[in-house]
Structure 1
């Protein structure tokens, strides 16, 4: 597989990264996912601080068929995506290059629970842009860096919101999360210290996925949606609580809806977009989902 080949990377101000980087660890999750582009989870020697989920056959993607980028912040701001591997792998299997904050999860034993920072989302974008532009990289011209999604769950959703003003971002996903209506007096270590004015920095279509009234982030997320009046925003609620469906096979309903959103926003897939447009939108046909849509400029046709 081409992504297993060594390739030249860059030298950063922080010091020399491996000049001949390579995949140092990899694992196939759920037989590669349900999509047509069977995925693999891996660690790259030039980005050991993150976990990559990408189609196994990276060589089929090039200038004519690129992979949009999705970067992800984890629940609890954990520095490893161990709660979200099924979900992230599933998205990648539908033709996306996904980078999660933190080291690759182990197959068993204690998982990494150290905290991460929002800066790692930006670092993932920086790294991907550099790889995409490097003619010696296995990822050269395989990534569509004009179409970038940033998303996260719970504390990771706040991380996504903290970097939402980055002009390179094409769409935003805030899952089981929302900015606190009343700021916490003692926030968790690593939790972004942002208030509702941060919503003004959002410049892209935005998807909120919440776990219904039993989700501890429900009120915060719904309050965000009420106060976002300058960009298209869609909120879907499934009454599963704060944990979502990330650990279910292929990431469950949250993965299905998030993938459709990214297909629409990052690939211009209008069929996938029918889940979110219309009166009512397609999501309303799935039992137990409720929704609200705001500020959509695209035709709201049934």
Structure 2
């Protein structure tokens, strides 16, 4: 843990000359269908992060969303199309990792969307590039960022992530400041140490979750499918939503506005952090919209009858 905290601190303090010359550099064009087109930013005061927020600030502070990248990579643009979509619904998003490579929008998912199940993964040659401590440190950084802090409602914080970043989100979900957790294509390893991630979380740590949690999985071809499904079977103390869509481990992040994952992720946040019953109808109730969508398999536990 001490090493992880030092790594996060080093990322937060180092500033490249290019970013220092432009303290808040916009990356790409505004995007998102949520009504408030959003931008990605590289910031000189937070070189270990990538920040997403609406172009135009409204009068009310916005909920905060923390994001863990697939592979726990140091690239806050790895899910940029999805994250602009989330921010466009009225959120400030802080992604773990400096802005590096942004891939273009895909018109369709590739036939093999991410790694398929092959048994135990080989040992990882290098440690994770980002850490859980770094993810949570974004809350403290944002509270001290003068131009940003007044636009953030620190009483409404969600943590989300993809694959290894989903494990970071599940681990960070134990923090008392977190109000909801979403794990995309992720789940705690059934056999500890059998995967590539270095996130220190085991099945018993799921008992530390204290908020509603959603698992969005990519079907049997998703390498995280057995782990996430097992998590859901084990969790019996908090509301848990399981939505399974057969798109593979890569999800729909690279489609325009994040595809189905962008739509579902924004609705979950709108329900959990903003109390939107319209958004909640996607998940709760006998006729929830995802329940009626034949592409999705849905499981709900400890769940409210109505949104």
Q: TM-score range by the shorter chain?
A: 0.7 to 0.9
8 A Cα contact 1:33 1:93, kept in partner: yes
The answer (yes or no) to whether the contact 1:158–1:191 under 8 Å persists in 2 is no
Indicate if the aligned counterparts of 1:17 and 1:46 stay in contact, CA closer than 8 A: no
Q: Note if contact 1:149-1:172 (Cα within 8 Å) is conserved in structure 2.
A: yes
Q: Secondary structure at the match of 1:168?
A: coil
List aligned pairs for 1:146-157, cutoff 5 A.
Answer: 146-157=155-166
Q: Tell me the equivalent position of 1:232.
A: 239
Instruction: State the 1:128 CA deviation.
Output: 1.7
CA positional deviation for 1:83: 2.8
1:119 aligns with 2:128: no
Summarize deviations over 1:80-114 as a string: whole Å, max 9, x none.
133311111100011000010001134579xxx97
Inter-partner Cα distance in structure 2 for 1:274 and 1:108: 33
Alpha-carbon distance in structure 1 between the residues aligned to 2:284 and 2:79: 27
Structure 1 unaligned spans of 5+:
1-12, 132-136
Aligned length in residues: 273
Matched, 1:73 2:68: yes
Match of 1:142 in 2: 151
Which residue pairs with 1:10 in the alignment?
none
SS in 1 for 2:155: strand
How many angstroms apart in 2 are the aligned matches of 1:251 and 1:210? Answer: 15
Quote the residue 1:54 is aligned against.
53
Question: How many Å separate the matches in 2 of 1:160 and 1:108?
Answer: 23
User: Where in structure 2 are the equivalents of 1:1-302 lying within 5 Å?
Assistant: 23-29=23-29, 31-58=30-57, 60-61=58-59, 65-107=60-102, 115-131=129-145, 137-185=146-194, 187-188=195-196, 191-296=198-303, 298-300=304-306
Please report the TM-score for the alignment, with normalisation by the length of structure 2.
0.82
SS of 2:298's equivalent? Answer: strand
- Cα displacement (A) at 1:284: 2.1
Q: Which runs of 5+ in 2 are unaligned?
A: 1-8, 105-126
Q: How many Å separate the matches in 2 of 1:300 and 1:221?
A: 25
Task: Give the Cα–Cα distance (whole angstroms) in 2 for the partners of residues 46 and 82 of structure 1.
Answer: 17
Partners of 1:41 and 1:278 in 2: CA distance: 35
Query: 1:179, CA displacement in angstroms?
Result: 0.3
| Local SS of the residue matching 1:246 | coil
After superposition, the CA RMSD in angstroms is 2.5
User: Contact conserved, 1:211 with 1:238, CA < 8 A, in 2?
Assistant: yes
In structure 2, C-alpha distance between the alignment counterparts of 1:16 and 1:191, rounded to whole Å: 23
| Contact persistence 2:71–2:128 (CA under 8 A) | no
1:21 and 1:91 map into 2 onto residues whose CA distance is 28
User: Deviations along 1:220-247, whole A, 9 cap, x unmatched?
Assistant: 0010001111110101010001010000
Secondary structure, in 3 states, of the residue corresponding to 1:138? helix
Q: TM-score, normalised by structure 1?
A: 0.84
- Distance (whole Å) between structure 2 residues aligned to residue 72 and residue 120 of structure 1: 11
3-state DSSP class of the match of 1:258? helix
